Structure 1
Amino acid sequence: MTAVTTETVKEKPSIYVEDLVIDFALDSALFNKQYMRAVNEVSFILKAGEALAVVGESGSGKSTCARALCRLYEPTSGKVWLQDVDINEKKNQLSQRDYAKEVQMIFQDPFGSLNTVHSIRHHLARPLKIHHPDLKSDEIERRVIELIERVGLSPAKQTADKYPHELSGGQRQRVAIARALAVGANFILADEPISMLDVSIRLGILNLMEDMKKDGIGFLYITHDIATARYFAERTAVMYVGHMVEWGNSDSVTQNPQHPYTQLLISAVPEPGIRKHRKEMARKADIPLWKPDSKGCPFAERCLNAIDKCKVSMPPVSQLAEDHFVRCYLY
């Protein structure tokens, strides 16, 4: 992939990730400690006003990437730029408070991310007080009501007085989104924001986030559901065992999948009203535990098209179209 430099970063209001690597220790030994590689040389660009969907099975490294961008995990290696600032460079590192003004995270469980002993008003007023200390109490109250209305909760004043347990799952997720908006974040890392919600209200949350993109907010949208990725995100990246195996324009990736793993994900999407025999798309094999010294393509053991070199060396990046890339020896 083309190297990302501080010169290219200055051109657009974006988050740039280059060759991100995250290792976790498997034991507590002092010597000869063993590590697993949760994310391996992942690179992408998150642009303001657009969404990048990261799709894959559980354990593929999707949430780990988001947590690294949110500074909950420190990368083992690689670079993450916000504008022209390397967020992990010690000498010019942004404070956590300044960084939080730009990047916020929405978690999968809306109830677990809210404090049950505080009202919705408290959840929204607190970030306003922290990040905007000059605001007076009446202005804070006005903004709290505006935020509640902005995310589609009404009546706003009554909602502000409620507690998390008095709201539905979809309403709680809207509060979590309003809290991210309260600090004025330009980028939101949405970690499976609709997977714990009823099917009937998922579209409402996606439409709310779609409206937020029009206001210039960029999204990293993490999901198992490749169908919603196409609906919401302009670009899609498919991850398997910490590796990006296919990425590019969402329509191209989902309508013309080229990597065998992407094809497997697409084949698992149900088609209402259509009964068909599903042919075998992959061998039955355990998902590998990737380590720093592991070699080859991580999907090789499951791939029906694997050849000998798939097990000994990582396939190079092949460009299939203007905005469609894949890592596979088939191309």
Structure 2
Amino acid sequence: MAQSSLHHGGRYRLHIGRPALGRRRKPEAVVKLEAYLSRARGRLPQQATATPELDVMVLLEYITGKPREWLHARADEPLEHILDRSTKETFQALLQQRAAGVPVAYLTGEKAFYGLTFEVTGEVMIPRPESEALVAYTLETAPDNARVLDMGTGSGSLAVAIKNTRPDLDVTASDISSQALETARHNGRQHQAKIQLVNSDLFDNIDGWFDVIVANLPYLKPPIASSAEAEQEPSLALDGGGRDGLEIYRDFLGQAADYVSSFGLLAIEAEPWQHPRLIAAGQQSGFRLLQEEQFMLALELDI
């Protein structure tokens, strides 16, 4: 910019100055996907989850629709190449709910079990990996064309997984909750598994006999909410009743002999410390121990 000033002798001298420059904005740092996910994992407290890395990745898969391998391969790419603003806001909202203890399966509405993906809602207990032992045992021991009853089916994960792997089996699934049966019905259709559904409190509405009765009934003792996740699941699917959580199972074992075939089996899930009590209750009802695993007992009629 040119400026003039009056000097001695009345003459003006012209000064040429540099043009004024505005403040230069520092370029924003490029946030890479891995750094963003690392911060996300840090937002999940230990009381909410024991698997923050897995939880964050599952949520990211869910909102992007991309497989885990695709995301891992782009860990060093700028975040803006992976998530737009809207998707990032959705991810942050899900992360906040997860930090508050809402299970990942309830946030995504699905859970993998025995190689299949099942719809889960707040009306059903989330399928656990431990329950896969019940499926495996049934598949190995059920005779051809056997009748199988899945009592307390919840999402239908056991019944559908069994029928999906062994189409020859005649599978019935029962539950006291009509809302749970709707979820089981959806999962059966999703996997084209033809199973019969019965709304029943234990054996109240069950007819006939079965070669295998699978039961993952409530078996937790008070206090039920042992974790932030358990607080979100329906107490009807968790509280086994009584001081040891086995009141429902005792009722089940007291009636099961009338519904199992002569060479039929019971496969039930419970905590390892509860096994001796269940074995004793089974013996009082005419059953003997056939096989024991960490979370599973197999009983047969003692004839």
Higher-RCO chain (CA-CA 8 Å, sequence separation at least 6): 1
Higher normalized helix content (fraction of residues): 2
Rg larger for: 2
